[in-house]
Amino acid sequence: MRKHKTDRFIKVLLLCSGLLFSAGCLRGCTSSRPPIHVNPNMDQQPKHIPQSSSEFFYDGAAMRTPVEGTIARGTVIDNPAFTTGIGQDGGFVDSPIQVDETVLARGQDRYEIYCTPCHGETGDGQSMLQDRTGVQSADLLQERLRSMPDGQIFDVITHGFGLMSSYAYPLSPMDRWSVVAYVRQLQAQGQLPQLQGTPEETETEQPAPLENQ
C-alpha cells in the first residue's frame, strides 16, 4: 500500500520535472511567431498610424503620395527662385535668403544630421562612408564647388546627383538654403567654422519647425 503511494509520488515528480525541463528548453528557443499577448488592450486599433500597412491599396502602404500638382497650406508659393534655386532666365540664382547666425546654426544642425555621413564634418569628403565602404563622395571644398552658384547646390540637395539621392523630403526649402549657407561658410574657412555659442544654445533661438517652411 505504502509502496504504491511512493510510486505515484515519484511519477508525479517526474512528470513535473519533465514539464519544467521542456519549458526551460522552450525558453531558449526562438520562434518565428509573434509573442503571446493575452489582453488586447486596444494595442492594435482599426486606424492607420504613420508607416502602417493597408490591404486596401495595391502597394500595401497606408501612406499615400499627394496628387501631383496639389498645393498644401503653408507651402511657399509664387517664389520659384526660392523653391527651385532657378531664376526666371533659367539660370541658377544666388541665395535668396538673408544669412545670419540663426540661419547658419540651423544649417549646421541640418548639415550634421543629413550631410556629415557622406561629406564629412568639414565637407572635405573624408567621412564615415569612405571609412567603411571606400566610396568617395564629393569634396565640398574643391574649387569646382566653390565657384558653383548657390542655386546649383540647392538644386543638387533638392534632386540629388550621381549616387546622392534627393534630400527634399527631410529638408524644407528654407532648411536647404540654410545648408547652402553653411556649406559656403565651410568653403570660406576650409575648416570647422567658429560660431558664437555652442550649437545647442543657438538652436533654441531659432527653432524653425520643418512643417512651417
Partner 1 sequence: MQGRQYWRSIERLLESPAIKEMLSDEFPEGASDPPRDLDRRSLFKLLGASMALAGLASCRRPEEKIVPYVNAPEGIIPGIPKQYATTMPWGTTALGVVVESHEGRPTKVEGNEMHPTTQGAASLWMQASILSLYDPDRSRNVLRRLAEEEESEAEQRPQEDSEEEEEPDTDIERPQLIRSNWDEFEAFWEEESARLEQQGGQGLAVLSRHYSSPSMARMMNRFRQRFPDSLWVAYDPAGESNILSALGSPETVIQPHYLFQRADTILALDCDFLLTEGDAVAAARGFSLGRNPEEGSSSQDESSESIGSGSSKMNRLYVIESTVSLTGANADHRLAVQSRNIPAIVERLAALVKNPSSREGELTGEIDERIRTIAHDLRNSDAPLVLAGRRQPTRVHAQILEINQVLGAIGKTVLLNSNPDARFGTVQDLSRLTDAMRRGDIQTLAILGPNPVYTAPADLDFKTAMQRIPAIIHLGSHVDETAIHSHWHLPEAHFLESWGDARAADGTVSIIQPLIAPLFSGRSVLDLLILMAEGPGRQAYDVVRETFGEGAWEKALHDGVVASQSSAGDPTSPEPVEATALPGESVVQPEAAPVVSPEGLEIVFSVDPSVYDGSFANNGWLQELPDPITKITWDNAALLSPSTGEDLEVENGDILRLELEGRHLEAPAWIVPGQAHGTVGLALGYGRTRGGFIAEGVGVDAYSLRTSRWPDVAGGLKVTKTGGRYRPAQTQEHWVMEGRPLVREGSLSQYRQHPGFASEPEEHLKAQPLWEAPEMTGQYQWGMTIDLNKCIGCNACIVACQSENNIPIVGRDQVRNSREMHWLRVDRYFTGPPESPEFVFQPVPCMHCENAPCEQVCPVAATVHDNEGINAMVYNRCIGTRYCSNNCPYKVRRFNFFNYTNSFPEIVKLSMNPDVTVRSRGVMEKCTYCIQRINEAKLKASQQDRAVQDGEIQTACQQSCPAQAIAFGDVSDSQTRVSTEKGSPRNYTLLAELYNQPRTSYLAKIRNPNPEWPESSEA
Beta carbon nearer to partner 1, 122 or 172: 172
Tell which one of 75, 136, 189, 191 touches partner 1 (CB under 8 A): 75
Q: Supply the minimum distance, in Å, between the C-beta of residue 75 and partner 1.
A: 6
Count the neighbouring beta carbons within 10 Å of the beta carbon of residue 53: 12
> 50: Cβ–Cβ under 8 A, 6 or more apart, which residues?
63
Beta carbon nearer to partner 1, 16 or 210: 210
Dmax over CA atoms of the chain, in Å, equals: 108
Q: Supply the minimum distance, in Å, between the C-beta of residue 125 and partner 1.
A: 25
- Which residues does residue 53 pair with via DSSP β-bridges, in sequence order? 61
- Which residues does residue 92 pair with via DSSP β-bridges, in sequence order? 86
- Per CB under 8 A, 211 contacts partner 1: yes
Tell which one of 4, 64, 132, 144 touches partner 1 (CB under 8 A): 64
Of the candidate spans 8-16, 35-43, 107-115, 135-143, the one that interacts with partner 1 by CB under 8 A turns out to be 35-43
C-alpha cell at 170: 527631410
> How many residues sit in the footprint of partner 1 (CB under 8 A)?
50
Count the neighbouring beta carbons within 10 Å of the beta carbon of residue 127: 21
C-alpha cell at 34: 509573434
- Per CB under 8 A, 42 contacts partner 1: yes
In 3D space, the residue among 166, 173, 213, 79 whose CA is nearest the CA of residue 181 turns out to be 173
- Per CB under 8 A, 69 contacts partner 1: yes
Of the candidate spans 72-80, 122-130, 137-145, 191-199, the one that interacts with partner 1 by CB under 8 A turns out to be 72-80
Q: 158-197: which residues touch partner 1 (CB under 8 A)?
A: 168-170, 172
> 52: Cβ–Cβ under 8 A, 6 or more apart, which residues?
62, 63
Beta carbon nearer to partner 1, 141 or 177: 177
Count the neighbouring beta carbons within 10 Å of the beta carbon of residue 84: 16
Beta carbon nearer to partner 1, 39 or 147: 39
- Spatial contact of 156 and 179, defined as CB atoms under 8 Å apart: no
Q: Which residues are near partner 1 by CB under 8 A?
A: 33-38, 40-56, 59-67, 69-75, 77-78, 168-170, 172, 204, 207, 209-211
